Structure 1
Amino acid sequence: MGYHFENVRLEKGMYGRSGKSFTQTLEELDPSEGYRGTAAESLDAFQRQLKRFDIRVKGADSDTVEKFFHTTESSVLFPEFVSRVVRQGLEEGGILPDITATVTRFDGMDYRSIASVPTEDEKKLVQVAEGAAIPETSVRTQENLVKLRKRGRMLVASYEAIRFQRLDLFSVTLRQIGAYIGKMHLQDAIQVLTEGDGNENPAETVSLSGELTYDALLEFWNKFDPYTMNTLLVGGDAMLKLLKLKEFQNPLTGLNFQGTGTLSTPLGAKLLRTSAMPAGTIIGLDKNYALEQVIGGEVMVEYDKLIDRQLERAAITSISGFAKLFTDASKVLKLGASGGGTSGGAGAQG
């Protein structure tokens, strides 16, 4: 008895049909629910098509790129393969999930986030007497739109150059493209955390005179109430300064880093290093309340070029933007010059 996926007709028009992704269109034609209890239960609609054409994309025995182009229908699968591997590179090893409170998928370019900015009186915890009015929390839409930016890389390769390359090897290059795009999105996120999203909500900047000390970090941490500074974003220079503090040389901190590859500060905040951070800057944030990521659709590839084996200068793009949810949930610490002093005092910039 044959499976239904063996009879699905594949064509170029399945990309971008009614605003749906290729996989969503495939799932409508070949629903995964129909494979429960079968050998194909663990596969999605796209993976079932790879099985149909016997295309192995992973491992030492993976097929060559040429295998996608043995038939007209199987060539239609190639852009989706490229998109998936690029998305994998975009997601793996990236730190965006560690600094975003929520992700919103939005099919368009004009997105307006929401905000709740309580007054000092609204922040107070007051007792509600019987029959009295209950304190209100106002939620409103932001005045300015979130800026969604298209980030991408150009795939420059002739079909003849890659046709005999193993898909597993070709995937390494595609994942690197995804990693580059992810880094550009991270730079956008850092800019929004620091400067705001256009709605007059830049982060409070704390200037540090003299050397970085543990006391200065404590003062910075204390400014986050009622939020919790549970994440620190640093560049390479700031990371070195932090690791030289004796409080960061606790044996338990070292054991945790060796076991998990993740550094935690003595304050309990997760320490994230990235070259996207400007020098002499530390961003502290409450990951649960600081930032919203808005994704404008899936990773896009120029499917016509890829299907027709015209890989030269085929664009791979991703659209994303960021909005600040609660302004006080993120703050910036500007480091002073080394050797300038030892007090470590931190004061808010005027």
Structure 2
Amino acid sequence: MAYHYENIRLEKGMYGRSGRTFSQTLEELDPSEQYRGTPLEGMDAFQRQLKRFDIRVKGAGSDCVEKFFHTADSSVLFPEFVSRVVRQGLEEESILPAITATVTRFDGMDYRSITSVPTESEKELKRVEEGAQIPETSVRTQENLVRLHKRGRMLVASYEAIRFQRLDLFSVTLRQIGAYIGRMHVQDAVDVIMKGDGNNNAAETFTVGDGTISGDAGTLTYEGLLDFWSQFDPYTMNTMLVSGDVMLAMLRMSEFQNPLTGLNFQGTGTLTTPLGAKLLRTTACPTGTLIGLDKNYALEQICGSEVTVEYDKLIDRQLERAAITSISGFAKLFDGASKVLTV
């Protein structure tokens, strides 16, 4: 039985379409719906092209990099392979899904978000009498633009150096590049939480021993954590970002040494806190800092572009300096949904 994917002509121009990725273009030419009930069901259009040229990208029997360049058509697939593996590394290492309320796709470098800043009176749950005015919630655009940043790495290698390397091994390096980019985005997110997005909305900061947070400066206690947790009403502190030293201080607290908590941490690497918040350690947090947030209301991620590569260089085997980049930015949604505690 002949399939349509075997006759598609691949060319560089499939990468240059405005508002369309290579995969989306390929999917338009070869819709996956046509393969329902066939042995190819479950594959996307790109995976079917790998099958067409018999390119195995995973496992001990994976092909060498040069397999992509046996024909002019198959070489067009190489940039998309690089992009997908880098994206895989970015997603594996990233904690962004655990700290962002929503992701907005945006084609540009300057973005204007929306905000709603209710007064104390507007936050109250008032009963509406018959004929009375219903309380209002005002939503407006932010005064200042949110700037997006390009983050990336330069892939520096000659084709001769990698042509005989297995794709499975080459993928390890590409995933590491994705992990680096992911950490850059997390650093951007933490900076926006702490300092604001340019609209005078930096997170409120507390210090241990300042009168609001009990304890002595320089020492984190469970009572201090409870005081910090209590500052979030009407939001819920369901996520905590901590630096490495704060993580160790919390693990040494007797309240965190509950046998069930320790068993879960040792078995899965996930620490269940007595406060019910998800605890995430990141080097993006400054030393001695704990960031609490309600991830459902604190942060918006603006994605200016997916992982992009210099496809011309990769297709033409000019790998000496090929840029791999991703454009992203962050906007604060509700000011009170994120706060900072300094030990």
TM-score, shorter chain, exceeding 0.5: yes
Deviations 1:152-177 (A, max 9, x none): 00000000000000000000000000
Amino acid at match of 2:100: T
Match of residue 112 from structure 2: 112
Match of residue 36 from structure 2: 36
Match of residue 330 from structure 1: 338
Name the CA distance, whole Å, in 2 between partners of 1:298 and 1:283: 27
Name the CA distance, whole Å, in 1 between partners of 2:206 and 2:110: 33
Name the CA distance, whole Å, in 2 between partners of 1:259 and 1:141: 45
Match of residue 149 from structure 2: 149
Tell me the TM-score normalised to structure 1 length.
Answer: 0.94
SS state at 1:205 partner: strand
Give the deviation of 1:122 after TM superposition.
0.8
The sequence identity of aligned pairs, in percent, is 80
Deviations 1:216-241 (A, max 9, x none): 00000000000111111011111111
Q: How does 1:273-288 map to 2 (within 5 A)?
A: 273-288=281-296
Gaps of 5+ in 1: 336-350
Tell me the TM-score normalised to structure 2 length.
Answer: 0.96
Name the CA distance, whole Å, in 1 between partners of 2:234 and 2:156: 50
Amino acid at match of 1:279: T
SS state at 2:267 partner: helix
1:317 pairs with 2:292? no
Match of residue 213 from structure 2: none
Gaps of 5+ in 2: 210-215
1:245 to 253, 261, 275: 253
Name the CA distance, whole Å, in 1 between partners of 2:172 and 2:198: 37
Match of residue 347 from structure 1: none
The ranges of structure 1 where at least 4 consecutive aligned residues each deviate by more than 2 angstroms after the TM superposition are: none
Name the CA distance, whole Å, in 1 between partners of 2:295 and 2:238: 7
Name the CA distance, whole Å, in 2 between partners of 1:136 and 1:146: 26
Give the deviation of 1:260 after TM superposition.
2.1
Name the CA distance, whole Å, in 2 between partners of 1:291 and 1:60: 41
Name the CA distance, whole Å, in 1 between partners of 2:85 and 2:146: 28
Deviations 1:38-63 (A, max 9, x none): 11111101111000000000001000
SS state at 2:107 partner: coil
Q: How does 1:142-181 map to 2 (within 5 A)?
A: 142-181=142-181
SS state at 2:192 partner: helix
How many residue pairs match? The answer is 335
Q: Which moved more, 1:104-113 or 1:153-162?
A: 104-113
Name the CA distance, whole Å, in 2 between partners of 1:95 and 1:85: 18
Name the CA distance, whole Å, in 2 between partners of 1:16 and 1:298: 14
2:93·2:182 contact (CA, 8 Å) conserved in 1? no
Match of residue 231 from structure 1: 239
Name the CA distance, whole Å, in 1 between partners of 2:204 and 2:272: 23
2:311 to 296, 299, 303: 303
Give the deviation of 1:108 after TM superposition.
1.5
Give the deviation of 1:283 after TM superposition.
0.2
SS state at 1:63 partner: coil
Name the CA distance, whole Å, in 2 between partners of 1:117 and 1:268: 27
Give the deviation of 1:252 after TM superposition.
1.0
Deviations 1:106-125 (A, max 9, x none): 12112111111101111111
SS state at 1:297 partner: strand
SS state at 1:107 partner: coil
- CA RMSD, 1 decimal: 0.8
